Amino acid sequence: MLTLRLPTEIEERLEALAKATGRTKGDYVREAILEHLEDLEDRYLAETSLEQLHRGELTLHHLDDVERELGLTG
């Protein structure tokens, strides 16, 4: 369970959208959080990978090289 306080303007916009569509405010809040959460997770993964690359913990490989090593080139 999560409780949060929204600024009045956002609360009013959310209420109007819910009334206009017949959905609940909770539906929209869940949808917004899930969409943004995926973006945040992707960003965290990208930043972590970049840090590992800079520390020499990851190596990049060109697609052409990988395809050639796997025998996938024509």
pLDDT digits (tens, 9 = 90+) for 46-55: 999 999 999 9
Q: So what's the pLDDT on residue 65?
A: 94
Task: Answer for the pair 36, 46: CB distance below 8 angstroms, yes or no.
Answer: no
State residue 22 phi and psi, 5-degree precision.
80, 10
Q: So what's the pLDDT on residue 2?
A: 86
CA distance 20 to 29: 15
In the structure encoding, which two tokens stand for residue 5, read together?
């306080």
Q: So what's the pLDDT on residue 1?
A: 86
Three-state secondary structure call for residue 54: helix
Q: So what's the pLDDT on residue 31?
A: 95
Pure H helices in 1-74:
8-21, 25-54, 63-69
pLDDT digits (tens, 9 = 90+) for 7-66: 999 999 999 999 999 999 999 999 999 999 999 999 999 999 999 999 999 999 999 999
